[in-house]
Amino acid sequence: MSNISNEQSLEIVRAREAVVPTRRPVAAGLEEILFEVLPVLDHGFVRVVDYMGDDSAIVQAARVSYGRGTKQVSEDNNLINYLLRHWHTTPFEMAEIKLHVKMPIFVARQWIRHRMANVNEYSARYSILDREFYVPATEQLAAQSVQNRQGRGEVVGAEEAKHVLRILTEDAERNYDHYLDLLNHDEDGKRLDEGRQGLARELARMNLTLNFYTQWYWKTDLHNLMNFLRLRADPHAQYEIRAYAEVILDVMRKWVPLTYEAFREHRLEAATFSGQAMRALLRMLAGETVTHSDTSMTKREWDEFRTKLGLT
Amino acid sequence: MSNISNEQSLEIVRAREAVVPTRRPVAAGLEEILFEVLPVLDHGFVRVVDYMGDDSAIVQAARVSYGRGTKQVSEDNNLINYLLRHWHTTPFEMAEIKLHVKMPIFVARQWIRHRMANVNEYSARYSILDREFYVPATEQLAAQSVQNRQGRGEVVGAEEAKHVLRILTEDAERNYDHYLDLLNHDEDGKRLDEGRQGLARELARMNLTLNFYTQWYWKTDLHNLMNFLRLRADPHAQYEIRAYAEVILDVMRKWVPLTYEAFREHRLEAATFSGQAMRALLRMLAGETVTHSDTSMTKREWDEFRTKLGLT
Amino acid sequence: MSNISNEQSLEIVRAREAVVPTRRPVAAGLEEILFEVLPVLDHGFVRVVDYMGDDSAIVQAARVSYGRGTKQVSEDNNLINYLLRHWHTTPFEMAEIKLHVKMPIFVARQWIRHRMANVNEYSARYSILDREFYVPATEQLAAQSVQNRQGRGEVVGAEEAKHVLRILTEDAERNYDHYLDLLNHDEDGKRLDEGRQGLARELARMNLTLNFYTQWYWKTDLHNLMNFLRLRADPHAQYEIRAYAEVILDVMRKWVPLTYEAFREHRLEAATFSGQAMRALLRMLAGETVTHSDTSMTKREWDEFRTKLGLT
Amino acid sequence: MSNISNEQSLEIVRAREAVVPTRRPVAAGLEEILFEVLPVLDHGFVRVVDYMGDDSAIVQAARVSYGRGTKQVSEDNNLINYLLRHWHTTPFEMAEIKLHVKMPIFVARQWIRHRMANVNEYSARYSILDREFYVPATEQLAAQSVQNRQGRGEVVGAEEAKHVLRILTEDAERNYDHYLDLLNHDEDGKRLDEGRQGLARELARMNLTLNFYTQWYWKTDLHNLMNFLRLRADPHAQYEIRAYAEVILDVMRKWVPLTYEAFREHRLEAATFSGQAMRALLRMLAGETVTHSDTSMTKREWDEFRTKLGLT
C-alpha cells in the first residue's frame, strides 16, 4: 500500500498484537480494525487508535445507572432512537473516538472548522514533510457548477484533464524540490550545499501547495462525530472531505451499530420542512394542487421543497 | 456502606466480573478500582466508569505516531514534563475519563461551572429523589472567615454546632416529608390520599433543600480534569467540593502516574510571580532588603508575595 | 414592581440616561428596552445589559466584507433565510447578547446546561441571599402527566392547590428564617446572639430550598441563543424556564427582526420527518392510505408522525 | 497602502462616517480606530469591526450589578488585578471583540487552533483568491535554530537570502498563473480558452502555496483573547503570527486599558516556578549557593530556571 511506509506497517502490526484484558465496555467490531490503515484518496488514510464506550454506554449514561445496561437490546434500541429523534444529545457525548488521519492540507482546513474536537497535528515547524501530495483521479476533475456557486459540475474533457493533471503534478513536484532546496537538504536529509545555512523549517514550508498531505490525531465524542458526518457526508460537501466521511461512517457502523441505524434514519435520511412548507404539504395531503404562486417561498425554497418530495 | 444500596452493590460486583480482551491501551492501576464506589462526604461517592488512554497515549499523540510509544519511560517522562511546563495542552486532551458522581446539589452547582465536560444528570422531573441529604461533620461547622469574604474561619463551639445540626437535619427531613406529601406518595411509592392528584415531580422537587444529593455521569479530558483539580483541590475551594477533588486526584495518580507527578510539580506545587514580584525577588536574591514601600504592590499582593516565599 | 428594589430601579434609570455616540452597528429596537426590567414569574426578570451586532452584522460576516452591508434589505433577508435553512451557523455566532437574569435555582440548574455561554452568578459564599422564592400561580399547579414521564398533566383541584401553596410557602419561609439563624443574623444584618459565631455563608445556604431566587449575567451568541430558545420555548420544556424563553424570544425579535422571522419559519414552525416517515409521507401524497402496520415505526413514532400532520 | 484596494478604502471611510447614539458602554480609544486597517506583514491587516464592553463591564459582571459601576477607578483597578491574579476568568469572558484579519494561510492554520472563537473565512470554493502572497523581509530569513527544534536561528547570508526570495516569489507567481489557467480565467475574470470548461474553484485552489493570503472575521471574548496573546505574542511563537499578536496587543490597550496593564503584570511579565524550582529559590534566598547537582531538575529545566532569574 502506498499510503504508509513499510516501517509504519510494522509498527501497526506490532501494536495490533498486544491484547490485554479490560473491565471496560468493548466494541468487538471496532477492535477488529483497530490501528489498521483505512485508505482514503491517493495517499491518505483513517486509523482508529482508541475509543471509549459502545451503544450500551449511551444507554447507561442516559439512565445514570450503576451497572451495565441489563435491559433487552430492543429496549436499548428504542431509547437510542428516542434520544436521537428528540435531540437529547448529552448521552451521545459519553462515547468518544480517537482517529489518526492523513489528509491534504486543504481538507484539513475544512475539517478543523469542527471545533468540538481535540487535535494534535504533525508539526512542519519541527519536522520535514514527505513528498506526498494529492492529485485527483480523472473522474474527479470537474468544472465549476453552473447552479451552485460553491460546487462542482460536469467532469472536464480528456484533453483538459491531462492539462490539469500535468499542472498539478509538475507544480507540486517543483515546489517540493524547492522546499528541500530552501532547507538546503537533499531527499535523504543531507546538506545540499555546505556554503548555505538552509532556511528554517517554519519558513520553508510556505512554498508547499495546499494539496500536500498533513496528518493529525483527532478525538471527538459521538455527538460531535455525528454533526461532522451529517455535514461532511452530505452531497454538498466537497468530494475530498466526503471521501473521509464515508470511511468514518463505516467506522461508526462497526463501533455503535444501533446508534448508526438511528442516525441514518433520523438524520441522514430525514427531511425538514419549514413552516410554509408544512402548510403547503398539508394542503397537498388534503388533495389540493399547490403551485409556487400559492406560497410565499422564494424560487429556491420552492425547488428545494419539490426536490424533498421527489417531484423533480 | 451507606452510600449505595445492596442492589446497586450487586450491580457493581457483576459489572466488575466481566473482563474482556482489548487492543487498546490499558491503565492497570485504574482497572483495579473500575466501577467501585469511592466514598466522599456522608452519602456521596465517585466511581470511575470508563477511561481512554494512559501516559503513553499522551506521548503518542504528541508525536502523532503510528505504533505505541516504544521509547524509554524516562524519555516519555521528560516529554510529559516539558509539555506541561510549557502549556502544550493538546496532548493531554487526548486522554479521557468518565465518572459517576453522587454529590449534594450545592456541590453540583459549583462543579457544573467547568463547562468543558459532558454531563448526564439524574432527572428529578423523571424520577423521585431519595431521602439523602448532606449534613456536615462537626469539625466542618466553621464560622464565616474574617479575612476572606468567601471562606470559612474557626470551627464553631459545641453548643452552636448542636444547634446547627438540629436545624439542618430537621429542615431537610421535614422538607422531604413534604416533598412526598406534595407528590401524594408515601415512602414506598404508594398513593397517600386517593382524593388528591399529587403535584408533578418537576414542581414538587423545588421544596427540597440544596444539601440533597443528586448524581451524574461526568466525562472530561485530562487537560480539563487538571484545570478542575487545580481549582477545586486548592485550599480556597469550599471543603465539600475539595473532598471530591482529593478523591479524584488519587484516581488520576492511578490512571496516569507520570502526568500526575508532573502535575504536582508544575501546577499544584508551583508558584507564579507577577512582573513587580519578580523585580522584588531579583533584588532580594542580590542581597537587598525589600520592604512593601519599595514596591508598588497593594497590601494584599505584598502579603501574597511573602506567603509564597514562606515569610509569614 | 416587586421584582427589584427602589434603589435598583434608580440605578437602572441612571444607566439608561447615559447616551453616547458610537460607530458600531446599533439595534434601535433593543436600545429602547436596554437595561429595563422585563418581569418573569413572581420575582424574576430578564434585563438586556449589552449586545453586539444586528441583522446586517450577520450578513457582513457571511460576506467577510469591508464596509457595512450596502445591499438591499430583501437580499439580506434572503441570505439570512438561506444560511439558517442550510445550517450555516457561523455567521449567527457573530452577534452576541448579554443578559442579567433573576430566576429560581431550579431554573438556573436547567439553564446552565447550555454550555456555550458565559456566566457570572451572584455568589452565596460571598453575600447573603434575599428572602425571595418562587411560588407557582394556582393555574400552574399541575399533576404529573400520565403520558409523559417528565411533564405536567391536569391542574390540581382548588383544595389540593391550597394545600400545595401552604407547604411551599411555609417551608421556604421557615428555611429562610433558619438560614438567617444559622448565619446568626437578623433581617437587617445585625447579630442575633452575641454568644454565637454564626455559620459560614457557604454552609448556611444549603438550608435554602430550590425555589429561592438567584441571579447572573449570561452572555451568548445568536446561534447558541437560538439553540436555547428552540429547546426552552418548546411546549415540552418546563413551564418555569419557558416563561423566560418567551420573554427572550421577544427580545430577539426587537434585536434581529429578520433573523427572528427566519428562525420562526425554519426552526420553531418547522417539522422533521425520519427516513421511514418520509417514505410513508410520499405514499400518502401519491394517494395511498397508510396505516401504522404498513410501516416499521414504533407506536410512539407513529403517533408523533400523525401529530405533525395534524391527524390527531 | 498596498494592503487593501481603493474601493475597500472607500467602504471603510463610509462605514466610519456613520456615528449613532447608544446606551451601551463605549470604549473611546477603540472607537478612534474602528474599521481602520492596521497593517501587518506585506499585505495583511487587522481591523476592529465591533466590540462589546469595556473595563467597567468586567467589574459590573463580577459584581452582577444593576447599574453601571459607580465605584472609583482605583477600586475597579484593584478588582481587575485581583481577578486576573487569582484566575477568576469568567468576568473577562463578558467582553467581546470582533476582528477582520487578512493573513497568510500558514498563519491562519496556527491561529485557528484557538478554538474558543468564532470564525467566518473567505471561501475559495465560492470566490477566486487575489494574487497576494507573503514574502518575508530579508531580516526575517533565518536559518533553523540549532537549540530549538521548532524555531529560527541566525539570519541567512545575503546571497542565500536572494536565492530564497527568488524561489518563493517565482513559485508563488507561477502557481498563481497556473491557478488562473486551471480556472480557465485571465486576470480580469474572462475565459482564457473557449474550448475548455475550467476546473472548479474548490479544486483549482489546491495549486496555491501556503503563503497566499486569506481573510476572516474572527470574534472572541477577552479571556480567550488574552490566552491567544499570551501564546502568540511570546518570543517562542513564529514571527509571522507574533506580528499579528503585537498589533492586537495594542488594540487591547486601547480597548481595556486597566485589564491590559494587569495582563502585562500578571501574565506577560510573570514567571512561574515549579515545586523543585521553588525549593531551590528559597534556599538561594536563605543565602545558600545552589548548583544543578543539588536539585533533581533536568538540564533543560535548570537552564530555564536560571534564565528566569537573569543568571545567564
List pLDDT tens digits, range A150-159: 889 999 999 9
**pLDDT given at position A57:** 93
Is the distance from CB of B245 to CB of B232 less than 8 angstroms?
yes
- The answer on B200 and B104 residing in a single domain is no
Angle subtended by helix axes B275-285 and B299-308, to nearest 10: 50
Q: Which residue of C has its CA nearest to A301?
A: C82
Q: Which residue of B has its CA nearest to D74?
A: B298
Kindly report the CATH number assigned to the domain that includes residue C5: 3.30.1360.170
- The answer on B263 and B192 residing in a single domain is no
For the segment C54-60, the average pLDDT, to the nearest whole number, is 94
- The answer on C232 and C108 residing in a single domain is yes
- Indicate the number of domains in chain C: 3
Name every chain C residue with its beta carbon within 8 A of the beta carbon of D19.
21-23
Q: What is the ipTM of this complex?
A: 0.95
| Residue ranges of chain D whose CB lies within 8 Å of a chain B CB | 78, 81-82, 85, 87, 90, 113, 231, 264-266, 268-278, 281-282, 284-285, 298, 300-301, 304, 308-310
Q: How far apart are CA D101 and CA D103, in angstroms?
A: 6
Domain's final residue, options D193, D210, D227: D210
SS3 B250: helix
- The answer on pLDDT for B1 being more than 60 is no
Would the CB atoms of D61 and C215 count as touching at under 8 Å? no
Q: Which of D273, D288, D307 to mutate to test the interface with B (most CBs of B within 10 A)?
A: D273
Q: How far apart are CA C21 and CA A55, in angstroms?
A: 57
- The answer on A109 and A168 residing in a single domain is no
**pLDDT given at position C1:** 45
pLDDT digits (tens, 9 = 90+) for C233-252: 999 999 999 999 999 999 99
Q: Which of A152, A167, A194 to mutate to test the interface with D (most CBs of D within 10 A)?
A: A167
- The answer on B124 and B31 residing in a single domain is yes
Q: What is the 3-state secondary structure (H, E, C) of B57-91?
A: HHHHHHCCCCCCCCCCHHHHHHHHHHHHHCCCCHH
- The answer on B190 and B245 residing in a single domain is no
Is the distance from CB of D154 to CB of A208 less than 8 angstroms?
no
Chains touching A (3+ CB pairs < 8 Å): B, C, D
Q: How far apart are CA B172 and CA C249, in angstroms?
A: 38
Range of the domain at C302: 275-308
Q: Which residue of B has its CA nearest to C167?
A: B178
Is the distance from CB of C225 to CB of C267 less than 8 angstroms?
no
Find cell 491501551 and name the residue.
B25
Would the CB atoms of A275 and C269 count as touching at under 8 Å? yes
- The answer on A63 and A120 residing in a single domain is yes
- Choice among B109, B232, B267, B300 that is catalytic: B232
| Residue ranges of chain A whose CB lies within 8 Å of a chain C CB | 78, 81-82, 85, 87, 90, 113, 231, 264-266, 268-278, 281-282, 284-285, 298, 300-301, 304, 308-310
pLDDT digits (tens, 9 = 90+) for D152-179: 999 999 999 999 999 999 999 999 999 9
SS3 B29: helix
**pLDDT given at position A1:** 45
For residue B213, the one-letter residue type is Y
**pLDDT given at position C285:** 95
Give the distance from residue A8's alpha carbon to the nearest chain B alpha carbon, in angstroms. 6
- The answer on C22 and C115 residing in a single domain is yes
For the segment A55-62, the average pLDDT, to the nearest whole number, is 94
For the segment A225-242, the average pLDDT, to the nearest whole number, is 96
- The answer on B87 and B99 residing in a single domain is yes
SS3 C143: strand
**pLDDT given at position D1:** 45
What DSSP letter does each residue of C175-221 carry, written as one string? HHHHHHHHHTB-TTS-BS-TT---B-HHHHGGGSBTTBEEEEEEEEE
Q: How far apart are CA D205 and CA A106, in angstroms?
A: 9
Would the CB atoms of B50 and A53 count as touching at under 8 Å? yes
Tell which wins on pLDDT, A195 or A149.
Answer: A195
User: Residue D118 pairs with which residues in a beta bridge?
Assistant: D219
Q: What's the pTM?
A: 0.97
**pLDDT given at position B69:** 58
Q: How far apart are CA C204 and CA B211, in angstroms?
A: 10
Would the CB atoms of A67 and B31 count as touching at under 8 Å? no
- Give the one of B8, B26, B120 whose C-beta lies nearest to A62's C-beta: B120
For residue B265, the one-letter residue type is E
**pLDDT given at position D160:** 96
Q: Which residue of D has its CA nearest to A109?
A: D109
What's the mean pLDDT when you consider all of chain B?
94
Give the distance from residue A68's alpha carbon to the nearest chain B alpha carbon, in angstroms. 6
Would the CB atoms of C50 and D50 count as touching at under 8 Å? no
Residue percentage of chain B with pLDDT more than 90: 89
Would the CB atoms of B126 and C153 count as touching at under 8 Å? no
- The answer on pLDDT for D212 being more than 70 is yes
Chains touching C (3+ CB pairs < 8 Å): A, B, D
Q: Which of D63, D265, D312 to mutate to test the interface with B (most CBs of B within 10 A)?
A: D265
Chains touching B (3+ CB pairs < 8 Å): A, C, D
- The answer on D266 and D162 residing in a single domain is no
Active site residues of A: 232
**pLDDT given at position C4:** 86
For the segment B108-124, the average pLDDT, to the nearest whole number, is 96
Domain's final residue, options A194, A210, A226: A210
- The answer on D294 and D241 residing in a single domain is no
What is the phi-psi region of residue C252: left when phi exceeds 0, alpha when psi lies from -120 to 50, beta otherwise? alpha
pLDDT digits (tens, 9 = 90+) for C214-239: 999 999 999 999 999 999 999 999 99
Residue C232 catalytic? yes
- Cβ-Cβ pairs closer than 8 A, A with C, add up to 74
- Give the one of D154, D168, D199 whose C-beta lies nearest to A207's C-beta: D168
Is the distance from CB of B18 to CB of A22 less than 8 angstroms?
no
Q: Which of B85, B89, B274, B285 to mutate to test the interface with D (most CBs of D within 10 A)?
A: B274
Would the CB atoms of D142 and A115 count as touching at under 8 Å? no
Least confident of A78-87, B123-132, C143-152, C197-206: C143-152
Q: Dihedral of the CA atoms D75, D77, D78, D84 (nearest 10)?
A: 140
Would the CB atoms of C269 and A284 count as touching at under 8 Å? no
**pLDDT given at position A2:** 63
Residue B256, judged by CB atoms within 10 A of its CB (0-12, 13-18, 19+), counts as buried
**pLDDT given at position D50:** 98
Give the distance from residue D230's alpha carbon to the nearest chain C alpha carbon, in angstroms. 21
For the segment A65-82, the average pLDDT, to the nearest whole number, is 82
- The answer on A97 and A180 residing in a single domain is no
pLDDT digits (tens, 9 = 90+) for D110-130: 999 999 999 999 999 999 999
Is the distance from CB of C49 to CB of C217 less than 8 angstroms?
yes
Tell which wins on pLDDT, A252 or A4.
Answer: A252
- The answer on pLDDT for A215 being more than 50 is yes
